[in-house]
């Protein structure tokens, strides 16, 4: 009898434990939805949304070789060197209601390991305010102070040139009007200084204003017509090659169309005029244009075609203005979720004109470049690039080849400040 009672008690306990187990298994999914398990401390940097941070840092380290670090012209033996490039930057943002303020700072060092006397240090600082006035008006006010090495497209002559820029600009101002129209405006003042002695003949201060009328149909068409006036003041007397003060004016029309999810096109045309250095001569006027075609078949590939002709401030000659023409094609291909490849070919022609010893004068620059980016982690990527530049001058042709490989750490993705 006692044994039967004990067996019955054990049976009841087993049934109770079985029922409890069934209830626990049924409640587990619901509990996991209400109270998620705490992430591992090692997973926190990946789980944190860095794009929402008020301070966004980035770090870049590259190494490679440049076989013509001084942009030597034809007839001169080029100087080559191993190159190390380091850049550190940060973007800070603050929101006050609809107003957005930002500060973007960059410090960089380019060390030529075989010729340390030519090493460079760059820096740039941008202070900005993305402002809104009610719902119809918005724009960006930005102040810039930068000292950076002049890019190949803007190189005025042989040697290493650092371009110093100080500017304050009201960019992309727009006030909405009825029926999809808008009033567009921009204005600014800039100061440009070259460290290379011959290029100092191109130093200038300028101020500009731009006013136009836009029409925008969301996700489809954008049209605009605008007028722009720029006043240039050269800081040196070029002995008759330039006027102390010069004016550039533009009247242009622009049309952009989104044909489909994979075809976009933009066209712009107009007339630009500049003061003539010849005493009493009428202003110089030329037709200008810009055209872009963007083909994006999928997330895997993209092709961009560009062509332009413009009249602007002088880049490589002593003159009140200089014509430049550019054609380019770029092909991008994402071979896998982590690996992307880009190949670009461009041609830049700069008009000839009055020159000074040490300036290139007119030039034709053809550049072929390739870049591969491999995403090591969500924040870190490995980049390898190569570039070949062919510069054609009246005295012949010179070449510059650059190959670099490096690591980029950037825990955020933004197209701009």
- What integer best gives the mean pLDDT of the chain? 86
Confidence of residue 328 (pLDDT cuts 50, 70, 90): very high
* Closest of 278, 273, 272 to residue 242, by C-alpha: 278
Q: Is pLDDT above 50 for 389?
A: yes
Q: Is pLDDT above 90 for 81?
A: yes
Q: Quick check: helix, strand or coil at residue 128?
A: strand
In whole angstroms, what is the distance from residue 403 CA to residue 391 CA? 18
pLDDT of residue 165: 97
| C-alpha torsion angle, residues 60, 61, 65, 66 (rounded to 10) | 40
Classify burial at 244, counting beta carbons within 10 Å of its beta carbon; exposed 0-12, middle 13-18, buried 19 or more: exposed
- The model's pTM is 0.81
pLDDT of residue 312: 92
Confidence of residue 21 (pLDDT cuts 50, 70, 90): very low
Q: Is pLDDT above 60 for 2?
A: no
Determine the average pLDDT of the residues in 54-68: 93
Confidence of residue 358 (pLDDT cuts 50, 70, 90): confident
Task: Find the range with the poorest average confidence among 118-127, 140-149, 150-159, 160-169.
Answer: 150-159
The pair of three-digit structure tokens given for residue 61, joined into one six-digit string: 């380290």
Question: Contact 382/391 with Cβ under 8 angstroms?
Answer: no
Q: Is pLDDT above 70 for 400?
A: yes
Structural domain spans, the chain: 1-36, 59-409
Classify burial at 288, counting beta carbons within 10 Å of its beta carbon; exposed 0-12, middle 13-18, buried 19 or more: buried
Q: Is pLDDT above 60 for 286?
A: yes
Any idea what DSSP says for residue 354? Answer: -
Question: Contact 311/355 with Cβ under 8 angstroms?
Answer: no
Counting residues of the chain whose pLDDT is more than 70, the rounded percentage is 84
The matching CATH number, chosen from 1.20.1070, 2.40.160, 1.10.10, 2.40.30, for 59-409 is: 2.40.160
Q: Look up tokens 């070789």; give the residue.
A: 65
Confidence of residue 268 (pLDDT cuts 50, 70, 90): very high
CB environment 108-117: b (16+ within 10 A), e (fewer): bebbbeeeee
């Amino acid at each position: 009898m006692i044994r039967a009672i004990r067996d019955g008690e054990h049976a009841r306990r087993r049934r109770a434990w079985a029922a409890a187990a069934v209830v626990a298994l049924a409640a587990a999914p619901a509990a996991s939805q209400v109270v998620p398990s705490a992430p591992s401390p090692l997973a926190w940097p990946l789980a944190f949304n860095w794009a929402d941070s008020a301070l966004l840092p980035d770090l870049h380290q590259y190494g490679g070789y440049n076989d013509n670090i001084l942009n030597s012209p034809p007839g001169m033996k080029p100087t080559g060197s191993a190159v190390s490039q380091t850049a550190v930057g940060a973007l800070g943002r603050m929101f006050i209601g609809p107003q957005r303020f930002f500060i973007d700072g960059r410090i960089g060092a380019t060390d030529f390991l075989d010729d340390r006397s030519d090493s460079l240090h760059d820096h740039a600082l941008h202070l900005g305010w993305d402002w809104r006035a009610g719902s119809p008006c918005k724009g960006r006010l930005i102040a810039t102070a930068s000292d950076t090495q002049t890019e190949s497209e803007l190189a005025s002559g042989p040697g290493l040139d650092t371009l110093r820029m100080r500017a304050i600009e009201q960019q992309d101002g727009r006030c909405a009007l009825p029926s999809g129209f808008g009033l567009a405006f921009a204005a600014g003042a800039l100061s440009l200084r070259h460290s290379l002695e011959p290029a100092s003949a191109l130093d200038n201060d300028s101020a500009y204003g731009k006013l136009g009328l836009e029409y925008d149909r969301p996700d489809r068409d954008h049209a605009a017509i605008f007028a722009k006036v720029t006043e240039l003041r050269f800081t040196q007397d070029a002995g008759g090659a330039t006027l102390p003060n010069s004016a550039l004016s533009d009247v242009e029309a622009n049309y952009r169309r989104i044909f489909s999810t994979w075809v976009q096109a933009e066209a712009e045309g107009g007339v630009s005029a500049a003061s003539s250095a010849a005493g009493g001569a009428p202003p110089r006027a030329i037709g200008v244009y810009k055209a872009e075609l963007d083909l994006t078949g999928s997330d895997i590939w993209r092709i961009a075609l560009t062509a332009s002709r413009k009249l602007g401030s002088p880049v490589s000659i002593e003159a009140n203005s200089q014509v430049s023409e550019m054609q380019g094609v770029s092909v991008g291909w994402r071979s896998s979720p982590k690996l992307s490849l880009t190949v670009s070919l461009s041609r830049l022609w700069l008009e000839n004109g009055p020159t000074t010893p040490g300036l290139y004068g007119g030039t034709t620059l053809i550049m072929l470049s390739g870049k591969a980016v491999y995403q090591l982690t969500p924040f870190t990527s490995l980049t390898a690039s190569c570039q070949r530049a062919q510069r054609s001058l009246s005295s012949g042709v010179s070449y510059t080849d650059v190959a670099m490989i490096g690591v980029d750490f950037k825990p955020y993705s933004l197209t701009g400040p």
